[in-house]
Structure 1
Amino acid sequence: MHLHDGRVAFNGDDIFHDLDLTLPANSFTCLLGPSGVGKSTLLRYLAGLVDGDANGDITCSDAKPLSGRVAYMAQQDLLLPWRTVRQNVLLGAVLRNQRPDLDRADALIGDVGLSDAAHLRPAELSGGMKQRAALARTLMEDRPVVLMDEPFSALDPLNRMRLQDLAARVLRGKTVLLVTHDPLEALRIGDRVHVLRGAPATLADAIIPDGKIPRDVTDPDILRHQAELLRQLGATPAELNRAEGAL
């Protein structure tokens, strides 16, 4: 998928303009950037959900339209409060009047560690459990293009790593764009990693880590790439030294 000359503006102020982004087919692209730079806006733009003044060309390598082929996971879980976890995971099929795949839904609910909570409603869940339910619902959609906005942000470190592994496995063969604030997360599961920065925002050239996904974050090459990403994000030499010392 390729975005050419993408532009989004709110109240006459450009969030980004003349933006080009290529998402190679069958690969995981991760997007980093400071808060407020426009990462979520870019995801919503690609999903056809942006509210502002927007234009640009989006083309797919198979020459088919993007509409109807995107699964989008927002930062907010967006679970329907009157539906159980299982019912929320099945929501897409219900809205499309399709016969839901109950076995697949239950398998994904188990994969995200919510089998014992499948009958609960969102008010009975923790923030991390809600995010896991939203992830299962996104994976359930089985779309060729998947856009995910900080899908693991509410999770503890161990569950975060486990669900990174799950997403990398289930989404293999999809075209994925994942927004994160964590350079090591991006380097662990991303085939390509971009930094969005500036105002209007621009994209830095992609960093392409070596090795099979999910990668070992203690690998020296991964740590070298992490330092480069932190520099692109504006870290000072002193901050880089503190980051290295924390590992």
Structure 2
Amino acid sequence: MKRKSERLIRTGLSLVLAAFLGWAYAAGSFQYMMEHPDELLHLVVQHLQLVGLSTFLAVAVAVPLGILVTRPRFRRLEWIVVNFANVGQTIPSLAVLALAMSYLGLGYQTAVFALWFHSLLPILRNTVAGMESVNPDIVDAGKGMGMKPVQVLWKLELPNASPAIFAGIRTATVINVGSAALAFLIGGGGLGDFIFTGISLYDTGIMLAGAVPVTALALLIDWLLGVLEKWVVPRGIQREAELI
């Protein structure tokens, strides 16, 4: 039943994607991209830099912080940290960019900061949820075998929490791919150049020439992270997660 539902969802999404691409082709988006390959490549590289750096920094902060607040000594901080991140997530991406611009000015660094801030919650929340979902019996067994706290963390807790952590990273990355289009508004570059140029000129073809690569990047990056997850997460834990 579950597999049948997944197939129906994939079929529906494929039809929506096909319709979107057909609309873009009819509007002349692919022709515009072929006529401006150098500019397109430059904007794609800028977009990837924005997404890559902001997501890397978010992972570097959110994962250790999520682990820290699940430790017994710092568990009191969990409510404060998670709710602070929740408040940050409720602020629209455009508002985050505007606030960051007010204090940091225009440019690439401001865009990276805004994207970093907006992508913290999915990673932090999933890290906390993943660490708390680890079966206490597994941890007790590790301690009973003489494992030190660091060994329990690296050999037992993190491997078992890794599916949830990866899910948060994938979610944050895909969100960042879409949100990075707004970076153009504060001089951060990216594929938002085509999108907002098309909007200002009332040219659907130019607008979709930016939207199509953004969609393609989101799908490609999500797929690549899925492949990476299969390499990193132990197979036994993957099978257990699929059965849930």
TM-score (norm 2): 0.23
Larger Rg: 2
TM-score (norm 1): 0.22
Indicate the structure with greater strand content: 1
